[in-house]
Structure 1
């Protein structure tokens, strides 16, 4: 399977300002098959955080933060939806999150490193009353959400 990913293209230097050109998007192939305990996820959201500035240099200035490597995929927090699963507690269609998520469109991840995101979704503004009633009587798992629009383009 071909995916797009973001790699560290160059280092800004210890006192340099990070610029967009420090990163590069490329296409790579990842396996179509997953092993026991793994899931294939489609990435929905990726996080950018201030601590990542340290990861851009070989010397991160910290013993517990490993540097990103040049021409290698970078990582951070992410949220995705499972497209295939060989993990006993995770199923196709589950939303999951992790603090280690490669910056790529799809990934194969160890299911044990993921947290499941629990919510109950009902579609349509006309179902707000039913959703409220369900939430008040314990009919939801996790947060009760009503999807009003699936179009997220601006």
Structure 2
């Protein structure tokens, strides 16, 4: 008889309105069989690392309109990106022992019935946890946003908001390697120091200390901004629109300042998009995974040669996952927030 074991899980209690709380989630234990049935076409995973990402907030809401990802199901485990080891497989593309990254449950063990978004990990000379960040979804997001949407080139003036986060820290470093002038914003002195001293941004500022964001941006970009890598929305976007150069590009990755508001803030300077012929485009990683091999070819040598740094904020244990996820909405994390479930 196949082995049955306990399976600790992080479950969403009910849909969330406003700012999420740890109490909106609970840790439960169920049982799982460590052998897949013969008629399965999926894979059984032992989860090692889980990724905490801002887009997960929208999945905690019962939306009345379609989105690119479905809402979580109350009473069921939260779903997100993670790094896992295949324990059993009925799928031709995977075998027991494979390491993968992709969508999985917030639990110790998961069955993925249709692993279309599971990527086999071929390079293990770098930390496995990197596949929740620089070598996973945030990495391809930074790459596609900067180059495919932003068309970054040498000499561009680049501004990155939420610049010390999972995506922003990489955007800034890639822009510097491309020969751009790069400024980032973050929410603490510690993060600002990180941007300037570890990630090599030309300048950085704490947006919480700035009373006039328009004046702040004019101070750091007296000649204007070519590329704004948008992570936050709201007042920052409004100020940026006043400071864009003609034919500037705004890749819209996220709007984290708006996710917990019941009434989103308005943006009032949109006429600049017309006057300055600005291209502003939202994008999601799903649409760019075909670029993943090309991205790995570029980024892996940078990591191995120490030309790119990546900072992680690590929470130990599945029981600490709710706190880790909630923390990213108040900026508590420094770098990429992830949760260690088990070490391989």
Report the TM-score, using the length of structure 2 for normalisation: 0.33
SS at match of 2:58: helix
| Conserved 8 A contact 2:46-2:110 | yes
Q: Which residue of 1 aligns with 2:97?
A: 93
Q: In 2, Cα distance between the equivalents of 1:78 and 1:50?
A: 15
Q: In 2, Cα distance between the equivalents of 1:2 and 1:20?
A: 23
Q: In 2, Cα distance between the equivalents of 1:12 and 1:111?
A: 28
| Conserved 8 A contact 1:10-1:21 | no
Q: In 1, Cα distance between the equivalents of 2:64 and 2:24?
A: 16
Q: Which residue of 1 aligns with 2:113?
A: 110
1:75 maps onto 2:75 in alignment? no
SS at match of 2:26: strand
Aligned pairs for 1:36-51 (under 5 A) are: 36-51=40-55
Q: In 2, Cα distance between the equivalents of 1:57 and 1:111?
A: 24
| Conserved 8 A contact 2:12-2:73 | yes
Shift of 1:79: 0.9
1:65 maps onto 2:69 in alignment? yes
Q: Which residue of 2 aligns with 1:22?
A: 24
Q: Which residue of 1 aligns with 2:130?
A: none
| Conserved 8 A contact 2:49-2:83 | yes
Q: In 2, Cα distance between the equivalents of 1:112 and 1:56?
A: 23
Shift of 1:61: 5.6
1:84 maps onto 2:88 in alignment? yes
Q: Which structure shows the bigger proportion of residues in strand conformation?
A: 1
| Conserved 8 A contact 2:34-2:88 | no
| Conserved 8 A contact 1:54-1:60 | no
Q: Rate the CA distance shift 1:26–1:60 in 2: closer, same or farther, 3 A.
A: farther
Q: Which structure shows the bigger proportion of residues in helix conformation?
A: 2
Shift of 1:37: 3.0
2:123 to 115, 119, 124: 119
| Conserved 8 A contact 2:34-2:87 | no
